[in-house]
Structure 1
Amino acid sequence: MTQQTEQAQTSQAGTDASARAAYSASVETLLRRARDAHQRGLLDEAETGYRAVLDVDAGNADALHWSGVLHFQHGRMEQAEALIRRSIDIVPTPLALANHASALLELGRRDEAMQRLEYALELNPSHVRVRFMHAEMLAEAGRHDSALAIYDGLLPDAPAVAELWSRRAAAQLAIGDAAAALESSERAWRLEPTHRAALVVHADAARALRQYDLALTSYARALHLEPSNIDVLVARGVTLADAGHFEQALATFNEAIAASPDHIGALHNSAVTLERISRFTDAVARSDRVLAIDEKHAGALANRGNALLHLGQKAAAVENFERAVQLAPASLETLTNYARALHLHKQFAKAIETCDQVLSIDAEYGPAWLAKGLVHQHEHRSDEALASFDRALAIRADDLAASFQRGNALRTLRRHAEAIEAFDRVIAQDPDSIPAHFSKAFVYLALGDYTRGWPEYEWRWKESQVGDSRRQFPQPLWLGKESLEGKTILLHAEQGLGDSIQFVRYLEHVKALGATIVLEAPKPLRRLFERMPYVDAYVLRGEPLPPFDYHCPLLSLALAFRTDETSIPANVPYLTVDAQKLDHWRNRLGTAQRTRVGIVWSGNPQHLDDHNRTVPLASWLPILDDRIEWFSLQKVVRDEDQADLKASGIRHFGDELEDFDDTAALVHEMDYVISVDTSVAHLAGAVGRPLWILLPHLPDWRWLLEGETSAWYPSARLFRQPKPGDWQSVFDRLSKDVAALA
């Protein structure tokens, strides 16, 4: 090679290098300008710039990366993912890998996104953005402990980043550390007062800690920042419900529904609230709206089941719970409520099986032990019921429902002192516990301790079923202290018809105090009661009342007269039979050829203790001696007894018994009346007919716990179960005595 040739080559190389340098400078300038436009939000200009770079340098990793980011910002995810992936293939960087992961997440390719983040961490384990995204993905996957560890590791590098504190709080709340979550979320919103997510987590944590006022304050602040956020509005409603402000909660849910009619959370929680405030029909309708949107919403089916139970539609309730547990087989609450529905539908074995299913999942789930105990109690397995209630209390010592039911089990076992102690423990935690006070009254009265029993019995007015009959008057309640001389007193019926029949005996004693008596009672008792010589005016409930000075419910007269076992008014008969009615029924029955016995085997199916008091007619059939003429004294016959009644030969009059005046005349024509604990038993005792009463092992308080006689009804003889549920022994004894009557 000649010297001249070498000089020419050297000159060309220098020219090429200069060209490359100029080219590179040109590309860098174009890229810098595009990046500057991008950072200033001039996205169209930036896109043009990146395209210009790639036109001259198709493999420029930075241009590919940032062009992909720009496509991401425009929502063009497929293009974004492809461009950023090409940039990584050329030059992998943690930032590009993080942005690629973001695009993959938007495309639903979560596994690939996680792989990209893990690759980025291999390149730079301390990259803040990558670590933060990694933690977010772990949290979304339910790996909150791992996410929390990353957030904790990031805090020394970013102690003033509100988003980090907020995410940390969310992870803490997810693992059940509400107190720590409350602290972290507070740090977040103090750093950034308008950080809505931090305020929501703060409210959620406060709600978990039952700090409802604080939670409501934070939800309100979050809603001020974003008034249209329906999820936050619903969370506020849930908090109001948790705090017992059900009407406000319902109003909040309805506000959310007005803004978003198909919002499942608002609809479902409003349905739950409607059920809790006893608007059961509305709860069913609102649950139906949820199911119209999502027919597989287990919560709506379960809530529908709860409401239907309260409406008495037990079979339909069970069906709804069955569908709910198929959809949510691991939901302990739904399974437990299903067990309760089975219990009320008298599917006891299946109810126990369902409780055991819950306990196989979580042996420390107290509500299942409570539900199981209630089934055992219904089956007269009180020892097992007591053991179940004790397990519930071992799990949660302040479980008032378990404490109360423990008292009931002890009462059934006739461990009365222990029952009183159990009820007192409930009252110590909740001094206004209506069931505990009411049940204490039953124990005292059943033991004949009227001194303590009558005052406690006044708690009945706060009890839901009895309290419905409470009257509110401006005139004062009379309980025996004020003089009634020259005064008018309104005596009003309450509870069942039998209660009124039993306590109307006190009218004679009220009259003896110089009072004018206005008696208010239901229509079936009108003609029977208004014949009493002590009644100056009789008023049907709902009719206008005449002027009066005092009022007193009939059953409170026992307290007013300080009745004890030695002073029970027992001047029987205190009710009389109408002569015309008596003639009618004598003609209707004809001349007696055999001993006449009237029977009553069932009472009011709505009575809370009906399952213990009522005896199916089939159980009576073996004692129906043909040498006796048998009569049904009840007006209504349940469907399950109809066939047995038709086959029995028992004379039944049904609707011919217009009211208790008819029943009293029919009862008067009986040689004996045999009855379970019903209003007809009280009627027979009040008119002085020979009366045999069949009583469960734990009878109503008025029959006491021992003995064959009753101080309330001298003509009565009591046949008691020797043990819970044992009607067979009662009928064995009854059979012998019936044969003697023949």
Structure 2
Amino acid sequence: MPDNAKIQFKLGKTLLENEQWRSAISSFEQVIEIDPDFWEAHYNLGICWRKLEQYDRAIACYERVKPLQPDLADLYYSLGNVLLDANQIDEAIATLQHCRRLQPTHAEALGSLGYGFYLNDQLDLALEHYHQAIGLDPNLHLVRTNLGETLLELNRLDQSIAAFEAALAIAPDQAETHVKYAKALLTNGELGRGFTEHEWRWQMANYRLPNWSQPLWQGFELSEHNRSMQSVPTELTNKTLLIWAEPGQFFGDTIHFGRYLPLLATRLPQTRIVLQCHTALVKLLETIAGLEVITAAQLPQLEFNYHLPALSLPHIFQTKINDIPDRVPYLEVPASARSPQLAQVFNASKTNKYKIGIVWASGKRSGTWLNRFYRHKSCPLELFLPLLQLPEVELYSLQVGEDAKQLEPLGLEFIANREGDRSVNLITNLSPYIQDFADTATLIEQLDLVIAVDTAVAHLAGAMGKPTWVLLATDAEWRWLRDRIDCPWYPTMRLFRQTHLGDWQGVFDEILAALAIELGI
């Protein structure tokens, strides 16, 4: 019965329920070909396209349903969610508010509306809608998870942890909740529990271990005689252990957890340890003794016996807040990066001024959450300019990528300082000299101080033992903990924090005052 729309629709629904998205799409499209006004087919087709992250197509499907079912609250709920996915936040909020007008007690829509306000940095409104949704349906574990995430950004750690634990009491196997709970615990300094919870990431729907025949290394076993000592695992003797970068792993993560690699090489002297990382980090990380470094392109040719994701290293070492491996430097400038060209970069100024390297922007990334992440972590370049009023200071940009182009409008300007007005190159752009992190390390070595937002450059400077000042938003990552001006991961680092979201001017007021003291002015 090829022309029976109802049978084709039931087939599509069965395929959808079995997560066979492409086949379901084919069935729903056949239904629409038979009956263009079969609204359930358009609706479910939108669900499939959303699952495949084809958000524009999903939106078009839901828009097609509007004239057919103008008062269907679930339609506006589903459309609002896909608009959130597509980073069309204002449109999503308006759509979800219309859903609420159609059905004021639609608890899931209230939860999604709260998440829209969260993405729009309207955190108080987010909390209000989360609580309303939970009041209507206490079992909405995803809303409780989002509540915990919002409370974490507001630095209300105890309430955040409680919200995550309430969500897990309802849905104990929800991996995404465990991972977000991990961030709250880590931010609170509960590193042992936090890193254990972070291992749940492998149960997330779009986050899977590689399909390798070699087993995942389970780490060191505790000695029965002394729980504080760890025995050397015999299964790794004369074997090869691969440490690999996870999908989406940031450069800063690799540098941050790079501190464990020398420890691993020391603990496993009879094991061949191979690190797979991004090409831009290879030359830098090759300076770690006892380690081989390869790129992802070289993985197919590698023969290994066990493997371990790099972000599991703190868990393997059972790191606690009072035993963080904080010895620096653990990274150094590769000999091959000490080119005459880079060595002469700073000679052009022919001064003995205080040389500060700066970074003002986190790397731009696609996706709703990552876009917000970039926006919060980055600060306006112009806020660095008052530092040039100090007569001892020269600024050098370590920024790379598209954001480095923000330097171009500055050019040559007159600035007032204690020596009188003079024409200067406000900030020297070092990006033409940077091809990888080995080059960045070479340039950092010649600086007196690095001032950066939370980026890989800050981690690199800290790993090299260079004095580093890090500028943090109120919702800073877990690794910076809360309310501290020092960093237990990097002894030469000082943290400058916003007092409220977006207040970079207050941070730079502190920076300017601290720099004047540093220079004895």
Once the two structures are superposed, the pairs formed by residues 337-356 of structure 1 within 5 Å of their partners are: 355-356=96-97
Which digits, 9 at most, give the CA deviation of each residue in 1:102-130, with x for residues without a partner? xxxxxxxxxxxxxxxxxxxxxxxxxxxxx
Structure with larger Rg: 1
SS of corresponding position for 1:707:
coil
For 1:377 and 1:256, the matched residues in 2 are separated by 34
Q: Cα offset for 1:541?
A: 1.1
Change (3 A) 1:327 1:613: farther
Deviation of the 1:611 alpha carbon: 2.8
Taking the TM superposition and a 5 Å limit, the aligned residue runs for 1:290-309 are: 301=60, 303=62
1:587 is aligned to 2:364: no
Partner of 2:241: 489
Name the amino acid aligned to 1:635: V
Question: Are the counterparts in 2 of residues 618 and 644 from structure 1 also a CA contact under 8 Å?
Answer: no
Cα distance per residue 1:502-525 (max 9 Å; x no partner): 111112211122222112111000
Matched letter for residue 503 of structure 1: F
Is 2:161 the partner of 1:420? yes
Contact 1:302 / 1:334 at 8 angstroms: preserved in 2?
no
Aligned residues: 479
Aligned to 1:278: 52
1:685 to partner: Cα distance: 0.6
Is residue 432 of structure 1 aligned with residue 169 of structure 2? Answer: no
- Superposed CA offset, 1:376-411 (max 9, x none): 334544333212101112223322321211121222
Structure 2 contact 471–496 (Cα < 8 Å) conserved: yes
Aligned counterparts of 1:450 and 1:594: Cα–Cα separation in 2: 41
8 Å contact 1:617–1:645 — kept in the other structure? no
Q: How far 1:527 moved relative to its partner? A: 0.6
Paired position in structure 1 for 2:7: 232
Which residue pairs with 1:480 in the alignment?
220
Q: Is the 8 A contact 1:698 1:705 kept in 2?
A: no
Residue-by-residue CA offset, 1:44-79 (whole Å, 9 max, x unaligned): xxxxxxxxxxxxxxxxxxxxxxxxxxxxxxxxxxxx
Identify if the C-alpha distance between structure 1 residues 411 and 645 changes in structure 2 by more than 3 Å, giving closer, same or farther: same
Asked if 1:530 is matched to 2:293, the reply is no
AA in 2 matched with 1:541 = A
Structure 2 SS opposite 1:512? helix
Cα deviation 1:439-471 (Å, max 9, x = unaligned) = 111111111112211111111233467x36857
Residue 202 of structure 2 aligns to a residue whose secondary structure is helix
Which string of whole-angstrom CA distances, capped at 9 and with x for unpartnered residues, describes residues 320-356 of structure 1?
A: x7x9979987554555566667767888677655554
- Shift of the 257–711 alpha-carbon distance from structure 1 to 2, 3 Å rule, reads closer
2:463 aligned partner: 686
Choose from 381, 395, 416 the match for 1:630. 395
Looking at structure 1, the residues matched to 46 and 91 of structure 2 have their Cα atoms a distance apart, in angstroms, of 26
- The 2-side partners of 1:277 and 1:414 are apart by 33
Question: Residue 457 and residue 647 in structure 1: after superposition, are their counterparts in 2 closer, same or farther (change >3 A)?
Answer: farther
Displacement after TM superposition at 1:253 (Å): 4.9
Q: How far did 1:730 drift?
A: 1.4
SS at match of 2:344: helix
| CA gap 1:348/1:552 in 2 versus in 1, 3 angstroms | closer
User: Is it true that 1:385 corresponds to 2:144 in the alignment?
Assistant: no
CA distance in 2, matches of 1:670, 1:716: 15
Give distance in 2, aligned partners of 1:337 and 1:507: 46
Which structure has the highest helix share of the two?
1
Distance 1:329 1:617 in 2: 47
Distance 1:451 1:506, change over 3 A: same
Asked if the contact 1:408/1:419 (under 8 Å) is kept, the reply is yes
Quick one: structure 1 residues 253 and 706, their matched pair in 2 at CA, closer, same or farther if it must change by over 3 Å?
closer
Which structure 2 segments of 5+ residues have no match?
222-232, 414-425
CA–CA distance in structure 2, aligned partners of residues 584 and 471 of structure 1: 44
Q: Distance in 1 between matches of 2:156 and 2:31?
A: 57
What does residue range 312-461 of structure 1 map to in structure 2 within 5 Å? 332-333=73-74, 335=76, 355-461=96-202
Once residues 595 and 469 of structure 1 are traced to their aligned partners in structure 2, the CA distance between those partners, rounded to angstroms, is 47
Give the whole-Å Cα distance in 2 for the aligned partners of 1:644 and 1:464. 45
- In structure 2, the residue corresponding to 1:246 is in which secondary structure? coil
> Counterpart in 2 of 1:462?
203
Amino acid at match of 2:381: L
Kept in 2, the 8 Å contact 1:691–1:717? The answer is yes
Does the CA contact (< 8 Å) of 2:46 and 2:61 recur in 1?
no
Paired amino acid for 2:374: D
Two-structure CA RMSD over aligned residues (Å)? 3.3
CA apart distance, 1:717: 0.3
Displacement of 1:554 after TM fit?
1.8
Kindly indicate whether structure 1 or structure 2 has the higher relative contact order, using CA contacts under 8 Å at least 6 residues apart. 2
SS of aligned partner of 1:674: strand
Q: Which residue of 2 aligns with 1:612?
A: 376
Deviation of 1:704 (Å): 0.9
Partner of 2:422: none
Separation of aligned partners in 1, 2:51 and 2:94: 30
Report the equivalent of 1:246: 19
> Can you give the 5+ residue segments of structure 1 that lack an aligned partner in the other structure?
1-225, 288-298, 304-320
Aligned to 1:546: 302
Aligned match of 2:359 in 600, 609, 614? 600
Which structure dedicates a bigger proportion of its chain to strand? 2
- SS of the aligned residue for 1:359 comes to helix
Distance 1:326 1:720 in 2: 50
Task: Output the amino acid matched with 1:246.
Answer: E
Q: What's the offset of the Cα at 1:605?
A: 2.2
Structure 1 residues 525 and 639, CA, compared in 2 at 3 Å: closer, same or farther? closer
Change (3 A) 1:475 1:355: closer
* Residues 736/581 of structure 1: CA separation in 2 closer, same or farther (3 Å cut): same
Give the match for residue 563 of structure 1.
319
Provide closer, same or farther for how the CA distance between residues 572 and 473 of structure 1 changes in structure 2, counting only shifts above 3 A: farther
Contact 2:8–2:28 (CA under 8 A) maintained in structure 1: yes
1:661 aligns with 2:438: yes
Please report how far the alpha carbon of residue 252 of structure 1 lies from its aligned counterpart in structure 2 after TM superposition.
5.0
CA shift digits 1:646-705 (9 cap, x unpaired): 578322233531111111111112211111111111111111111001112232111111
Q: CA 1:577–1:690 in structure 2 vs 1: closer, same or farther (change >3 Å)? A: same
